[in-house]
Amino acid sequence: MLNRRGTLASLTGGLIASIVAGAAKAGEVPADPTEVLPLWPGEPPGSAGVTVVEAVLERPAAPGLRERAVEHTRKPTLTVFRPAKPNGAAVILAPGGGYQRVVIDKEGFETARWLTDRGYTCFVMRYRMPGDGWGAGPDAPLQDAQRAVRLARSRAAALKFDPARVAVMGFSAGGHLMASLTTRFDAKVYDPVDAADALSARPDLSALIYPVISMVDGPAHAGSRTQLLGAAPSADLIARYSPDQGVTAQVPPVFLLHAADDTSVPVANSLMMFAALRAKAIPTEMHIFEEGGHGFGLRGVVGKPVAAWPGLFETFAKRHGV
């Protein structure tokens, strides 16, 4: 048997290698995939009157890494990561950004590369922000998430995965989005636009990574709540957009991950979701690590026990058929 230190060292080495996979030499940034699917065949729903301008911001990062954020998404997309040896399953990733931006590298592309190394076909979402004037307001991101699952399923045969083995993974505010999808996959938030919309938007499994969950004062992440619901939301809005209050027996298995020392999104968010899932007898697994902070993704786990999280997710997913 490997001891804990040996196991952790092995995992960490694999993670570092996967982050810079595709680089020709040390310090070279991996190339982005060139296969990008528009989520909508034309303008997204509720676009009349939207005036924001989409922008990609690039911040300084360590050699071999990038740190990009998309603000004011106008054209939601799925960036496709194809594995060399497909395992028949897919994962749709929603990076975080406080519902102000989408942080595509740290929580999107890097995680997708790790997953594709293990056979998963991956799709990284650029989704719209709720405060940018879209007709659906706080449901604009959910429109994109529902559409993403349906569009991915419509491409399953071409991309060599089973449409009944589709997981979603969300980080921080992206975790709130995927938790909302997990509990509101059947909410009618847009009119069908093509044949893909006849397919189910219910994920077969959800992974919520240091997720924003509750909109209630205290556990709520104030920035995400303000962007989503405004400065003074009603009790009805708070309840509707708190996924822990919308768990039903139809919710798929859920994997939860959080660090106890997260000062941005309190660990209470995952605890509340776990309790709600258990109350409905939904298969769920939660991992709370002593340290890790917020927004660690893959690059922030080196040398810490939380480095085990991707393998824990993979084990959970396989146990539940994904």
Domain annotation covers residue 97? yes
- Three-state SS for 282? coil
Q: Given the structure tokens 């393998």, which residue do they identify?
A: 311
Residue with tokens 């065949």: 41
Domain membership of residue 25 (yes or no) is no
Residue type, 63: P
Q: The domain containing residue 272 runs over which residues? A: 4-20+30-319
The CATH number given to whatever domain includes residue 209 is 3.40.50.1820
Please report, in angstroms and rounded to a whole number, the separation of the first and last CA atoms in the chain.
Answer: 27
Q: What are phi and psi of 247, to 5 degrees?
A: -70, 130
What span, in angstroms and rounded, lies between the C-alpha atoms of 98 and 227? Answer: 8
Are 301 and 8 spatial neighbours (Cβ–Cβ below 8 Å)?
no
Is residue 24 pLDDT above 90, yes or no? no
The whole-number average pLDDT for the span 299-308 is: 91
Beta-bridge partners for 259: 289
Residue 214 lies in a domain: yes
Rounded CA separation 232/247 (Å): 24
Q: Is residue 167 part of a domain?
A: yes
Taking only the tens place, the pLDDT of each residue in 155-172 is 999 999 999 999 999 999
Average model confidence (pLDDT) across the chain:
92
**With 60 as the cut, is the pLDDT of residue 17 above it?**
no
Q: What is the pLDDT of residues 58-74, one digit of tens each?
A: 989 888 899 999 999 99
Considering the domain boundaries, does residue 55 fall inside one?
A: yes
Q: What is the pLDDT of residue 27?
A: 67
In a domain, 9, yes or no: yes
Number of domains in the chain: 1
Residue 79 maps to a domain: yes
- Of 70, 77, 179, the C-alpha closest to 125 is 77
pLDDT in tens, 241-271: 999 999 999 999 999 999 999 999 999 999 9
- The predicted pLDDT at position 15 comes to 47
Q: What average pLDDT does this structure show over 6-28?
A: 47
Q: How confident is the model at residue 7 (pLDDT cuts 50, 70, 90)?
A: low
Q: Report the pLDDT value the prediction gives residue 16, as an integer from 0 to 100.
A: 38
